[in-house]
Amino acid sequence: MDCIFCKIAAGEIPCKKLYEDEQVLAFHDIDPKAPVHFLVIPKTHIGSASEITSGNSAVVAHIFEVIAKLTAQLDLKNGYRVVTNCGKDAGQSVEHLHFHVLAGRLLYPDMA
């Protein structure tokens, strides 16, 4: 499958890695929208949040555990935002489930 995040997860395309285990990978976004902007992905291919099922949702829980650990390590005391864009109207540009973690600037009142 021609999926850029599957290739990053497989180590075929380089990334600035923050964290990795058997199930997930966290890496810095190539085009950051905030002073802190990293992505957390499952290593197995899930197309988007629409494809989360009872059969694959355990990795999503794990992703949120990893986000809690990483944001604590990065000392993001002022807060952070977790976003997943799903589908065309949300502007999803990579069709492999990923959670953006944004921090380091005021993120409200905008939702995006």
Q: Does 2 bind ligand 5GP (CB under 6 A)?
A: no
Q: Does 35 bind ligand 5GP (CB under 6 A)?
A: no
Q: Does 30 bind ligand 5GP (CB under 6 A)?
A: yes
Please state, in angstroms and rounded to a whole number, the distance separating the CA atoms of residues 47 and 86: 9
Q: Which of residues 29-48 bind Zn ion (CB under 5 A)?
A: 45
Closest CA to 81 of 66, 67, 65, 98: 67
Q: Does 92 bind ligand 5GP (CB under 6 A)?
A: yes
Looking at 9, 15, 40, 97, which residue binds ligand 5GP (CB under 6 A)? 15
Rg (CA), the chain: 14
The answer to whether residue 62 is catalytic is: no
Please state, in angstroms and rounded to a whole number, the distance separating the CA atoms of residues 11 and 60: 21
In this chain, which residue has its C-beta nearest to Zn ion?
A: 3
The item of Zn ion, ligand 5GP, none sharing an interface with residue 6, based on CB under 5 to 8 Å by kind, is: Zn ion
The conformation of residue 49, written as its DSSP 8-state character, comes to G
